[in-house]
A and B are shown apart, each in its own frame.
Chain A
């Protein structure tokens, strides 16, 4: 079975690619007329020992897009990212960064990477760290100086430029980690869980930095297991599990294609649900889990009325009732049968 991501504009429906009727849905680029995409991955496979990390991943992203890679720990997100930055050599498949293999100097120059770990020198100052990684990316002289000043300003660390990095807060170090990965102004940036362990205030700051990158038309691959983040930041989301991309598209498209509806009704009963009531609820399509009743809603007014009539008919009480948009969490649950954070 071939998985890949279909390139679909915002607002248009998207489908888990395993359900697509035609295999190999890759847009055909003619190098003579078109700029190569920032990232193009085809049928990428990688195993470590007997453990399969990537099992035929295919994806492609247009310039300026923020592509979210959403999946639980161990799903293959980091292996995919490390393949793109040349730190993992795939067993098979192909991978191109702006049309070049990852080790090509042009690919190296045009991509940036912000690893999940704080990969900095703790005893150096932020300015010294940025100088170091700027030099490693080939910058020098006035170009390097202005890149450092710009990065310090962008990350909000200009006033801490001469402090030791180890004395910075966790959030500041995260921002410096991002600045070190973007010092050379890459056109494609891979962000690996940049908000892990960050307080809400710093997280907002990081979101602002990402928005500024998007405004500069930087293409972003953003790995996370926070679905709220993926929903908020990403133009498109690829759900990865067991080394495969199992669905991809915009948030709304994923919800519609996976769940068929965009909203869910939830009722919390005020007492244990009797068998007779359970039977009535299940008859209208609801799922009963303890005191909780869940129903995917394609016609919310009618379905809410049906549910409440069932409660009323059995003289059962309702403690709470909510109608909300379906989340990626529910999409993931539906696709894999597991919670995203398992």
Chain B
């Protein structure tokens, strides 16, 4: 009897394609997506290489050696010039590197100042030593930490002679030939070192003293609270927008199943008008959802809406349109409610994982970052980040708005075409 019950359920599963997909296909798809984001084929977890702009203001032999060693680090991907102008003549300057970080093209930049070559490595504090400057985007807390650590490592491993010379200089300065007086003086200096306050583990502005002096400066977001609030409001907002749009689009399937769609289409309402009406409703609901999400972020998590309303409006409308047409398309493609549930779970979760709703894209391997651009999540999140985090002018939103609007047009056209199956037969 028990086996008969199990067998009957097995038959049921075999005939229910949606349940079958949910049970076996969806987990495999998600396993693959997350394995691609967090893992490599070797099976060892690795972090994506940190993309880095370098500016060599020193142009000395030492600075070139130092940067050459930095380039050899596999954890870094060093650029001397903007991608579009990779000719040797247009290299990054301190200003253009800062602008690139501010625009989100790179998470971090390194400026090697004049005079670095003369006093590249030193032991102990020295106000006159040239400091390397890390320009960072605080929305990526990992990149500057990785860079700061590697700067010290490179200094030690790639420039041993410079390090030795620095040691001798230090010995000469602090100890001389180690007479009792010298020893006492050395002891005092060492004690002085130990009594210095420990550098902030965050490596914030001011930086910590090491073999090379490094200072870090956040180039944006200094006045903001948690830099990730806008990201999560957009990321989570878009994901749930897609879910709710797909669910609401399912009304079309219910209307088809109950015969209401037949009745509607026998009146003056055509299929195009019907879909347009549903799009207006879905986009209205989606825009309201995003607004509620961001207002909640402002009230509870200190997200600043001031001065961002216009950008927010533009991004909200284009995101709501894209998400709504996506919902309509899924509903038009599905033959039943169950199919819609399976299809929307699969596509929304996959898009959200790859598109950066669940995990920031800038922390993913570069190939995954590129793949993410096929999702509307990525474009929507990038747009909201431009508005709230980078505070870029509205004109810089055009790529995101253009892509989201193009997605809306294509999805609506596809939904209309697929919906022909509901028209008169």
**Cβ of B263 and Cβ of A88 under 8 Å apart?**
no
Return A121 CB to nearest CB of chain B, in Å.
7
A29 contacts chain B at the CB level, 8 A cutoff: no
Chain B, range 257-287, C-beta contacts under 8 Å to A = 258-260, 262-269
**Cβ of B268 and Cβ of A120 under 8 Å apart?**
no
Q: How far is the CA of A88 from the CA of B423 in the complex (A)?
A: 9
5 cross-chain pairs, A with B, having the tightest CB-CB distances, nearest first: A117-B259, A136-B267, A85-B266, A119-B263, A119-B259
Could you give, for residues 234-266 of chain B, a 1 whenever the CB lies within 8 Å of some chain A CB and a 0 otherwise? 000000000000000000000000111011111
Chain A, range 70-85, C-beta contacts under 8 Å to B = 82, 85
Chain A, range 294-321, C-beta contacts under 8 Å to B = none
Other than A87-B424, A89-B425, A138-B268, give 10 A-B pairs with Cβ distance below 8 A. Answer: A105-B268, A108-B268, A113-B263, A117-B259, A118-B258, A119-B263, A121-B260, A136-B264, A136-B268, A180-B263
Return B62 CB to nearest CB of chain A, in Å.
75
Chain A, range 111-163, C-beta contacts under 8 Å to B = 113, 115-121, 133, 136-138
Return A194 CB to nearest CB of chain B, in Å.
14
Residue positions of A touching B, CB distance < 8 A: 48, 82, 85-89, 105, 108-109, 113, 115-121, 133, 136-138, 180-181
Q: How far is the CA of A131 from the CA of B318 in the complex (A)?
A: 31
Return A212 CB to nearest CB of chain B, in Å.
22
Q: How far is the CA of A116 from the CA of B263 in the complex (A)?
A: 11
16 pairs of residues in contact across A and B, judged by CB atoms under 8 Å: A48-B425, A82-B262, A86-B424, A87-B266, A88-B425, A89-B425, A108-B266, A109-B268, A115-B259, A117-B259, A120-B260, A133-B267, A136-B267, A136-B268, A136-B269, A138-B268
Q: How far is the CA of A172 from the CA of B205 in the complex (A)?
A: 74
- Greatest chain A CB density within 10 A among B259, B260, B262, B266 is at B266
Residue of B nearest to A192 (CB): B259
Residue of A nearest to B274 (CB): A136
**Cβ of B424 and Cβ of A89 under 8 Å apart?**
yes
Residue from B263, B267, B425 within 8 A of A108 (CB atoms): B267
Q: Which residues of A contact B258 (CB under 8 A)?
A: 117-119
Return B301 CB to nearest CB of chain A, in Å.
35
Residue of A nearest to B259 (CB): A117
Q: Which residues of A contact B424 (CB under 8 A)?
A: 86-89
Q: How far is the CA of A86 from the CA of B268 in the complex (A)?
A: 11
Return A315 CB to nearest CB of chain B, in Å.
59
Q: Which residues of A contact B260 (CB under 8 A)?
A: 119-121
Return B328 CB to nearest CB of chain A, in Å.
18
Residue of A nearest to B264 (CB): A136
Task: Give the interface size bracket for B toward A.
Answer: 10 to 19
Q: How far is the CA of A116 from the CA of B262 in the complex (A)?
A: 11
Count: A-B pairs, CB below 8 Å? 47
Return A185 CB to nearest CB of chain B, in Å.
14
Residue from A48, A89, A105, A115 within 8 A of B263 (CB atoms): A115
Residue of B nearest to A118 (CB): B258
Residue of A nearest to B270 (CB): A103
**Cβ of B269 and Cβ of A115 under 8 Å apart?**
no
Chain B, range 408-425, C-beta contacts under 8 Å to A = 424-425
Return B262 CB to nearest CB of chain A, in Å.
5
Q: How far is the CA of A108 from the CA of B268 in the complex (A)?
A: 7
Q: How far is the CA of A88 from the CA of B422 in the complex (A)?
A: 11
Q: How far is the CA of A213 from the CA of B231 in the complex (A)?
A: 61
Residue from A48, A86, A121, A138 within 8 A of B266 (CB atoms): A86
**Cβ of B267 and Cβ of A119 under 8 Å apart?**
no
Q: Which residues of B contact A82 (CB under 8 A)?
A: 262
Return A159 CB to nearest CB of chain B, in Å.
25
Q: How far is the CA of A181 from the CA of B424 in the complex (A)?
A: 19
**Cβ of B265 and Cβ of A87 under 8 Å apart?**
yes
Q: How far is the CA of A89 from the CA of B258 in the complex (A)?
A: 21
Q: How far is the CA of A117 from the CA of B268 in the complex (A)?
A: 20
Q: How far is the CA of A118 from the CA of B263 in the complex (A)?
A: 10
Return A181 CB to nearest CB of chain B, in Å.
8
Chain B, range 372-425, C-beta contacts under 8 Å to A = 424-425
Return B392 CB to nearest CB of chain A, in Å.
44
- Greatest chain A CB density within 10 A among B262, B263, B265, B269 is at B263
Q: Which residues of B contact A109 (CB under 8 A)?
A: 268
- Greatest chain A CB density within 10 A among B258, B260, B265, B267 is at B267
Q: How far is the CA of A119 from the CA of B262 in the complex (A)?
A: 8
Q: Which residues of B contact A180 (CB under 8 A)?
A: 263
Q: How far is the CA of A108 from the CA of B267 in the complex (A)?
A: 6
Q: How far is the CA of A117 from the CA of B262 in the complex (A)?
A: 10
**Cβ of B268 and Cβ of A115 under 8 Å apart?**
no
Return A150 CB to nearest CB of chain B, in Å.
18
Q: Which residues of A contact B265 (CB under 8 A)?
A: 86-87
Q: Which residues of A contact B425 (CB under 8 A)?
A: 48, 87-89
Return B103 CB to nearest CB of chain A, in Å.
48
Q: Which residues of B contact A48 (CB under 8 A)?
A: 425
Q: How far is the CA of A119 from the CA of B425 in the complex (A)?
A: 19
Q: Which residues of B contact A119 (CB under 8 A)?
A: 258-260, 262-263
Q: How far is the CA of A270 from the CA of B424 in the complex (A)?
A: 57
Q: Which residues of B contact A113 (CB under 8 A)?
A: 263, 266
Return A45 CB to nearest CB of chain B, in Å.
14
Chain B, range 201-219, C-beta contacts under 8 Å to A = none
Return B249 CB to nearest CB of chain A, in Å.
16
**Cβ of A133 and Cβ of B263 under 8 Å apart?**
yes
Q: How far is the CA of A88 from the CA of B425 in the complex (A)?
A: 5
Q: How far is the CA of A181 from the CA of B259 in the complex (A)?
A: 13
Residue of A nearest to B251 (CB): A121
Residue of A nearest to B261 (CB): A119
Q: Which residues of B contact A88 (CB under 8 A)?
A: 424-425
- Greatest chain B CB density within 10 A among A48, A89, A117 is at A117
Return A110 CB to nearest CB of chain B, in Å.
12
Return B270 CB to nearest CB of chain A, in Å.
10
**Cβ of B262 and Cβ of A115 under 8 Å apart?**
yes
Chain B, range 154-189, C-beta contacts under 8 Å to A = none
Return B251 CB to nearest CB of chain A, in Å.
9
